[in-house]
Structure formats: structure tokens, C-alpha cells
Amino acid sequence: KNKMKISSLVLTKNEEEMLGDALKQLDFSDEIIILDQGSQDKTLEIAKKFTQKIISSKVEDYAQRRNMLAENAQGEWLFYLDPDERITDNCKKEILAAIQSNEHSAYYIPRENHILGKFLKHGGWYPDYVPRLFKKSEFLGWKGKVHESPKFNGSAGYLKTPLVHKTARDLKSMLD
């Protein structure tokens, strides 16, 4: 039996606006696992079109939620994506090449932050490197309350192609 290569892991709560497009782009994954925080909108309906692996949790701790996703993953590699992030084809190719090379146990991916529809290139907003790809066998878990960070054995690599982060799409979500 073929072992799963990539588990894509997504945290959700009331993400009906962004989730479909996020999950659509995870077509390179062997499995998609969603941990939902009690969505009241159509998030779960959308999620079910892409995966049956949906966990519900009321755990408030962000690191714990990310760890729950990792514990449920079958893949050799864990890829975390937020519903408001987009992966370009070049980024997918780079993720697959990184896994193929097996050179590092974790990879940081630059992130293009788009706030109110504008790409913020300056003021420390780019390249906003985020740790998103981990070799499961070397992954020790997420630690920390507010700014959680991953712990892993081995070295980290840095991809070149950014994720596009469509954050604060309007003033209300920015203030939230």
C-alpha cells in the first residue's frame, strides 16, 4: 500500500467566504484534514465537498489545535494552510520539490500579505516567512500561547515562492 506523502491541515471557523478556494488548491495533497471551531455558517458544508476528515474542537489554544491536526495526519509531510491563503502553481511545485529533495525537516514559506486588497511590500510585511511544511517524523509539535511556534528536529529550509495571504479584506475584518 502506498504511504501518504502530504497531509494538508486547515483550521476553520466561519470561513465560508474563503474556504472553497483554499481547499480547491490542495489538489496535490494525499489527504486534507480540517479542524473546525464551531462554525455557524456554511464552512462545514463546503469542507465536506473536499474531505470527510473533519474534526470539531472547542479547544481555545491555537498550538493545541494545530497539534490535533498533526496527530490525525497520515502523511509523511504536514502542510498547514489558512483559509485566507492562496498557493500559486509555482509554490506547489516548490513544495513538492522540497519534499522530493528531503533535505530539511521543516520549510518556511514567504508570505505576501494583502491588506484591504493591497500587497504590503514594506514595513516588515514581506517576506513574512511562516513555518508551514514539516516532515512528520521530525515534528515535535507547536508550542506557545499567542505566537505559537513549531518545534522540530533537524534543519529548516526556506522556499522562494510566496503564499498569498488575503487578510483584512475589509475594514470590519481588519478591526476584528
- Predicted pLDDT at 170: 54
Angstrom distance (rounded) from CA 95 to CA 78:
11
pLDDT value of residue 171: 54
Question: 97, 124, 93: which is closest to 111 by C-alpha?
Answer: 124
Q: What's the pLDDT at 2?
A: 52
Q: Which three cell numbers stand for residue 146?
A: 499567542
The single-letter DSSP state of residue 8 is E
- Residue 123's pLDDT is 67
**What's the pLDDT score for residue 125?**
63
pLDDT along the chain (176 residues), means of 10: 82 94 95 97 97 94 93 97 94 95 95 78 76 96 85 96 79 53
